[in-house]
Amino acid sequence: MLITITGKHIEITDAIRSHVEEKVSKLPRYYDSVGQIEVVLDGNEGGGQSVEIIVHAEHNDMLIAKETGTDTYTCIDTVVHKMERQLKKAKEKQRTHKAPSVAEIRGASQLPDEETTAS
């Protein structure tokens, strides 16, 4: 998995880099097909910060989460939490749209018919 951290109008210190890497490295546990993660930190003129996470996954899935605030570390934590929710939702969507397994099909075919049991 490739993690890219970019800073616009802000210096990426070692502490910020390690905090981002620590938080973002846990994201693939929520969705297996995560291939690349981009983190963009932007320091605005008014003293505010914005953090954006872009996750590239298989099947051309691209998930984006963004948070704006005054504290960089709080923004990082919040945006990672938002991305976790998106990845969980994508995983659940993928799981529910899969074809039924052979065991599920066999189990459904062995159920008794309502008409034969009612007689």
* Tens digit of each residue's pLDDT (9 = 90 or more) over 33-74: 888 999 999 998 778 899 999 999 887 689 999 999 999 999
Residues 6+ apart with CB under 8 A from 94: none
Q: How far is CA 51 from the centre of its chain?
A: 15
Q: What is the pLDDT of residue 2?
A: 92
Pick left, alpha or beta for residue 36 (phi over 0 → left; psi -120 to 50 → alpha; otherwise beta).
beta
Q: What is the pLDDT of residue 69?
A: 94
> Which helix (H) or strand (E) element contains residue 102?
helix 102-109
Q: What is the pLDDT of residue 94?
A: 80
Number of Cβ within 10 Å of residue 39's Cβ equals 25
Q: What are the structural domains, with CATH classification, of the chain?
A: 2-110 (3.30.160.100)
CA 21/CA 103 separation, integer angstroms: 41
For the whole model, what pTM was predicted?
0.77
Residue with tokens 């890497």: 21
Q: What is the pLDDT of residue 58?
A: 82
Cα–Cα distances (Å) from 118 to 7, 108, 113, 114, in that order, read 70, 19, 9, 6
pLDDT tens for residues 75-119? 999 999 999 999 999 888 888 876 666 666 666 656 555 555 555
Show the CA angle centred on residue 51, arms to residues 10 and 6, nearest 5°.
50
